[in-house]
Amino acid sequence: MRADEHCRRLCALIGVGPTAADAAVATVTDTREFKNGRQLAAWLGLVPTQHSSGGHAKLGGISCRGDAYLRTLLIQGARSSLQRAKAVAIEMATPEQRWIRTLDARLPFRKLLVAIANKHARQIWAMLAHDVDYDPHACLAHSMHRQAATT
């Protein structure tokens, strides 16, 4: 773990420890297999099942397909992220911690954990695919965030 640069980068993400980082690097050997982080999250089973017919999308429960071990580690890490987000003062919180706090106010506990784990899976994919370090303020540069801030 200490020798692998990818694992060290992933450990910077709150809620991803050495075990989860090792499991992610070992499981996702080639990020080019996935077009984006959404596909990785779906492959891990962190998205709702979809039963669509005639243009009507019906979403079910979490699919739970894919690597159960990594999915479990990400959901356990989501518990840690939630605890840290609640513990930090709102003015000192990162944008992701503020997002977690807003979700906590409106989602049931288990759905909240899966949503956080889904976000972590997408962040893991981005960090591995683009060889970048974790930046807690990266979402502020995203075009969707800028659109929401202007309206």
- Cβ(27)–Cβ(70) below 8 Å: yes
Whether residue 67 is contained in a domain is answered as: yes
Whether residue 149 is contained in a domain is answered as: no
Whether residue 151 is contained in a domain is answered as: no
Whether residue 102 is contained in a domain is answered as: yes
| pLDDT at residue 87, as a whole number | 95
Please state the pTM of the whole predicted model. Answer: 0.85
- The Cα–Cα gap between 130 and 120 comes to 15
- Cβ(23)–Cβ(69) below 8 Å: yes
Whether residue 114 is contained in a domain is answered as: yes
Q: How many domains does one find in the chain?
A: 1
Average pLDDT, the chain: 86
Backbone φ, ψ for residue 108 (5° rounding): -65, 160
The band of 32, judged by pLDDT with boundaries at 50, 70 and 90, is confident
Q: Which domain holds residue 119?
A: 5-142
| pLDDT at residue 57, as a whole number | 76
On the question of pLDDT at 20 being above 60, the answer is yes
| pLDDT at residue 119, as a whole number | 93
The band of 150, judged by pLDDT with boundaries at 50, 70 and 90, is low
Q: Convert the pLDDT of each residue in 65-114 to its tens digit.
A: 778 899 999 999 999 999 999 999 999 999 999 999 999 999 999 999 99
